């Protein structure tokens, strides 16, 4: 199944289920800590630098953002963990994220992003365990590969593998490393 990443558009932002787009497109959700690179991954996959808005400030994404890419949709969920937002806003994210992941019939897979430079956090472990319990297919994407030397890849990937019990895919938004592998895994979700 070929995916035309050039045929892409932002659909909508939502905080409630009633605001989700009403379409039949299959959806791939992106989850991970604040500032792990979810928007940057989307931009790299569609070859457009400013398609999904990125920020150096953790917690910039405070809504569920839907992007149509050809005959499917990426869904960028708010990051969990540390974010420079008020506590009341951060507390609203968890039910918003859980409601989407548990109740959205269009969801066919999840890209679970973790920063390759750091051991996955307890929040990352909880997310991976929860996705397994809910039987939601997911791929662990180890982002920011350009920030460590190639000689350290195996050691860092082993930490992620041992912590999350899932084989990670190494990715860099700067170099495009891992892009083709992730697109292939997305095609498998869609099939």
| 128-175 per-position pLDDT tens digit | 999 999 999 999 999 999 999 999 999 999 999 999 999 999 999 999
Residue 91 has pLDDT above 70, yes or no: no
Task: Say what the pLDDT of residue 50 is.
Answer: 81
List strands edge to edge, sheet with 138-143. 8-14, 64-69, 72-76, 26-32, 107-115, 138-143, 168-170
Burial label, 118 (beta-carbon count in 10 A; 0-12, 13-18, 19+): middle
Cα gap 131→52, rounded to integer Å: 24
| 6-52 per-position pLDDT tens digit | 899 999 999 889 999 999 999 999 999 988 999 999 999 999 888 88
Q: pTM higher than 0.85, yes or no?
A: yes
Residue 87 has pLDDT above 70, yes or no: no
Which of 3.30.70.141, 3.40.50.300, 3.30.450.20, 3.30.470.10 is the CATH number of 8-190? Answer: 3.40.50.300
Cα gap 186→27, rounded to integer Å: 10
Q: Are 61 and 74 in contact (CB under 8 A)?
A: no
Task: Please report, for the chain, the start and end positions of each structural domain, with discontinuous segments joined by +.
Answer: 8-190
Task: Say what the pLDDT of residue 59 is.
Answer: 42
Which range scores top for mean pLDDT: 66-80, 83-97, 108-122? Answer: 108-122
């Amino acid at each position: 199944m070929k995916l035309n990443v050039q045929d892409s558009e932002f659909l909508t932002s939502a905080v409630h289920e009633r605001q989700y787009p009403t379409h039949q497109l299959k959806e791939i959700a992106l989850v991970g800590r604040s500032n792990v690179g979810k928007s940057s991954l989307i931009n790299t996959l569609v070859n457009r630098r400013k398609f999904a808005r990125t920020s150096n400030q953790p917690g910039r994404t405070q809504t569920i953002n839907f992007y149509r890419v050809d005959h499917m949709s990426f869904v960028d969920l708010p990051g969990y963990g540390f974010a420079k937002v008020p506590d009341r806003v951060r507390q609203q994210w968890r039910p918003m994220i859980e409601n989407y992941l548990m109740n959205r019939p269009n969801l066919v897979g999840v890209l679970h992003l973790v920063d390759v430079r750091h051991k996955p956090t307890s929040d990352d472990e909880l997310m991976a365990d929860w996705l397994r319990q809910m039987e939601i297919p997911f791929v662990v994407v180890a982002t920011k590969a350009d920030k460590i030397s190639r000689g350290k890849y195996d050691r860092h990937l082993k930490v992620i593998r041992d912590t999350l019990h899932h084989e990670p895919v190494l990715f860099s938004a700067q170099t495009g490393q891992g892009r083709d592998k992730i697109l292939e895994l997305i095609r498998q979700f869609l099939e």
